[in-house]
């Protein structure tokens, strides 16, 4: 039977706690669906700084290289916040991983689950309309990796600079994936740019328009980033797939996550052109609640489901996990982040949520 190697990078904060529940669920599906997973654990982020002096040790990178996919928890915390930016857990682990494996395609879905509209920070009549959006973010280009990047001069004229740069091929490949995704959804791609100011955005828009010609069945809209942050608040239901550069996707995907009001439910996937991927929850390491066993493990569990879908093509197993999550929520089981006084169902711990979900596979 099929067997897959997974590099498990739990990281810091709530990472290890929520990862334990994802592994519980994966354990259940592999027996049910007849494939096997070989799990290998590696340090990443703050814990790797503590144990090995660097947020992304060579052994961790080698472990990821030897794997078929990376299941990532979260990194960072107050303990490492005063290190130089380059050495901090987030920057020192996530960006090199993305760059090394050329994970250019980042997909972050955000939707309002039925029954959870009340948690959205949007006005009741807006959240009642619901929304289901995927942010397609270019993840290895733009101002994150563009050269030159640096600092020069002294005194009042000292300057620091970064380069926003996009090549035609980089825009084309992420645009193509956005249109493909839209085909399996509501058929609308909204490309986010700042073409009234940025040269990189002008090229971005041109290439997206060209790619759109191969997808006559998909509607293409363009929106400026400033307007996009407004429209997401005013009427998120208008969006289906939002196609973004690296920086704009960073902003849009976080705003999207926030307006769901249930960030603990949101998974994400970062893929390269060989289908190798890194799967991680949209939220952060939440050091304020770490170690208490109260974090919501669903984002991590759904990230594992995406791994089965995109890297291992185990669609049935992925759907089984997603169904188990929906059923658990529908049955009224919530962790503290989504809890609002339901006498019949006391607030669930991280482990209890994991068990509820695993038991429904």
Ligand X SMILES: CC(C)[C@H](C(=O)O)[C@@H](O)C(=O)O
27 is catalytic: no
Q: Does 196 bind ligand X (CB under 6 A)?
A: yes
- The number of residues that bind ligand X (CB under 6 A) is 8
**Is 235 a catalytic site residue?**
no
First to last CA, the chain: 20
Smallest gap from residue 60 Cβ to ligand X (A): 17
Q: Which is nearer to a copy of itself, 58 or 124 (CB)?
A: 124
DSSP 335: B
Contact partner, 227, from a copy of itself, ligand X, none, Cβ < 5-8 Å per class: a copy of itself
How far apart CA 82 and CA 153 sit, in angstroms, is: 25
Let me know: does 282 contact 299? Beta carbons within 8 Å: yes
Q: Measured at the alpha carbon of residue 326, what is the angle toward residues 235 and 129, in degrees to the nearest 5? A: 20
Q: How far apart are CA 299 and CA 281, in angstroms?
A: 5
Of 2 and 197, the one with the shorter C-beta distance to ligand X is 197
CB of 92 to ligand X, least distance (A): 9
**With respect to ligand X, which residue has the nearer C-beta, 26 or 252?**
252
Q: Give the Cα separation of 301 and 33 in Å (integer).
A: 17
Q: Does the active-site annotation cover 333?
A: no
> What string marks each residue from 250 to 269 as x (binds ligand X by CB under 6 A) or -?
x-------------------
Q: Is 226 in the site for ligand X (CB under 6 A)?
A: yes
Q: How far is CA 247 from CA 41, 139, 152, 180, 194, in A?
A: 30, 9, 24, 22, 11
91 binds ligand X (CB under 6 A): yes
Query: Which of 194, 240, 333, 337 is labelled catalytic?
Result: 194
Nearer to a copy of itself, 60 or 120 (CB): 120
Helix, strand or coil, per DSSP, at residue 111: strand
Pick the binder of ligand X from 37, 67, 94, 211 (CB under 6 A): 94
From the list 231, 33, 255, the residue with the least C-alpha distance to 135 is: 255
CB of 206 to ligand X, least distance (A): 19
Verify whether residue 194 is a known catalytic residue.
yes
235 near ligand X, rule: CB under 6 A: no
Are the beta carbons of 9 and 44 closer than 8 angstroms? yes
- The distance of closest approach from Cβ of residue 282 to ligand X in the complex, given in angstroms and rounded to an integer, is 8
Using the contact rule CB under 6 A, the part of the chain among 30-38, 89-97, 257-265, 318-326 near ligand X is 89-97
Counting contacts by CB under 6 A, is residue 170 touching ligand X?
no
Nearer to ligand X, 237 or 272 (CB): 272
- Residues 48-60 as b/e (b if ≥16 CB within 10 A, e otherwise) read bbeeeeebbbeeb
Nearest to 167 by CA among 50, 246, 234, 101: 246
For ligand X, give the closer residue by CB, 140 or 356: 140
Q: Name the residues that contact a copy of itself, by CB under 8 A.
A: 85, 88, 90-91, 95, 120-124, 126-127, 143-144, 146, 149-151, 153, 155-169, 172, 194-200, 202-204, 225-227, 229-230, 233-234, 247, 250-251, 253-255, 257-259
Q: Which residue has the tokens 């599906």?
A: 29
Q: Cα dist. 180→111, 183, 185, 212, 243 in Å?
A: 19, 5, 9, 10, 12
Name the nearest CA neighbour of 122 among 10, 261, 271: 261
Residue among 332, 326, 331 at smallest CA distance from 347: 332
Q: Which of 214, 226, 273, 342 is catalytic?
A: 226
Alpha-carbon span 273 to 296, nearest angstrom: 31
Annotated binding site for NAD(+): 77-90, 284-296
Would residue 254 show up in a list of annotated catalytic residues for this protein? yes
Give catalytic residue positions. 144, 194, 226, 250, 254
Binding site for ligand X (CB under 6 A): 90-91, 94-95, 196-197, 226, 250
């Amino acid at each position: 039977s099929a067997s897959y190697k997974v590099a498990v990078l739990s990281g810091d904060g709530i990472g290890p706690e929520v990862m334990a529940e994802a592994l519980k669920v994966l354990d259940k599906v592999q027996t049910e669906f007849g494939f096997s997973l070989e799990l290998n654990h590696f340090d990443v982020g703050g814990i790797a700084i503590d144990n090995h002096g660097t947020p992304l040790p060579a052994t961790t990178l080698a472990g990821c290289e030897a794997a078929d996919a990376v299941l990532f928890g979260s990194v960072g915390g107050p303990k490492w916040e005063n290190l130089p930016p380059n050495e901090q857990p987030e920057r020192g682990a996530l960006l090199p991983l993305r760059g090394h494996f050329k994970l250019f395609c980042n997909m972050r879905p955000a939707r309002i689950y039925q029954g959870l509209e009340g948690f959205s920070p949007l006005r009741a009549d807006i959240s009642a309309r619901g929304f289901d959006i995927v942010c397609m973010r270019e993840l290895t280009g733009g101002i994150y990796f563009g050269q030159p990047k640096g600092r020069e001069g002294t005194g009042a004229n000292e300057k620091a600079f970064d380069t926003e740069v996009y090549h035609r091929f980089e825009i084309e490949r992420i645009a193509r994936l956005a249109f493909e995704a839209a085909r399996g959804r509501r058929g609308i791609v909204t490309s986010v740019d700042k073409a009234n100011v940025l040269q990189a955005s002008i090229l971005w828009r041109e290439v997206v328009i060209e790619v759109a010609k191969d997808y006559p069945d998909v509607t293409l809209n363009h929106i400026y980033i400033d307007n996009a942050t407004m429209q997401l608040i005013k009427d998120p239901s208008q969006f289906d797939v939002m196609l973004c550069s690296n920086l704009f996707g960073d902003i849009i995907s976080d705003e999207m996550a926030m307006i769901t009001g249930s960030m603990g439910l949101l998974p994400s996937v970062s893929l390269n052109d060989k289908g190798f991927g890194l799967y991680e929850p949209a939220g952060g390491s939440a050091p304020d609640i770490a170690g208490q066993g109260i974090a919501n493990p669903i984002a991590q569990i759904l990230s594992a489901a995406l791994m089965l879908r995109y890297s291992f093509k185990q669609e049935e197993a992925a759907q089984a996990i997603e169904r188990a999550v929906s059923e658990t929520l529908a049955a009224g089981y919530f962790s503290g982040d989504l809890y609002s006084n339901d006498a019949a169902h006391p607030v669930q711990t991280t482990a209890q949520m994991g068990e509820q979900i695993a038991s429904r596979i």
